[in-house]
Amino acid sequence: MKKRIGYLLGIIAIVLAIVFSYQAGKKEVEGNIKTVIGNSVYNVWEGYNSIIEDSNKGLTIDAISKMNERLIYVTAYSNVIDRGTGQTLLQPIASKISNIAKGIEDNYYQDGGVNEQQQEKYKQMIEAIKEVNEQILKVYYIPNSEGTV
């Protein structure tokens, strides 16, 4: 009888140890996911913010190329966020903005400059980026939390 109680207590101890180690591992994984998503949210916001800031400098081929490079990173980070959250929100927006910017760059090389239509697309794209950045702050950050995602 004492052996059975000893075995039973041993089995209970092993099960509890497994449960506690699983919970600790789960919390660590959740913390890592939150860190990766938080970093990605910041990088998307910062990438868009840099494009907004550079929009005041004029629409040159260097500015367009730099913008397209940033949009590659924004699209990649948006994909990480969407996969991490299980939502498809930011990546399609980033892809659409990237396609518009790529079109502006392609037309620049075709036409040797930026025409009025391309300038208007650029202005609309910048306004859309501003709106997306505002929504990122509202959707992904906890209000009054000093940057907690």
Over the stretch 53-107, which tens digit does the pLDDT of each residue have?
Answer: 999 888 888 999 999 999 999 999 999 999 888 999 999 999 999 999 999 999 9
CA distance 125 to 131: 10
- The set of residues, in sequence order, having a beta carbon less than 8 Å from that of 115 and lying 6+ positions away, is 107
Taking only the tens place, the pLDDT of each residue in 107-137 is 999 988 888 999 999 999 999 999 999 999 9
Cut 0.85: pTM above it: no
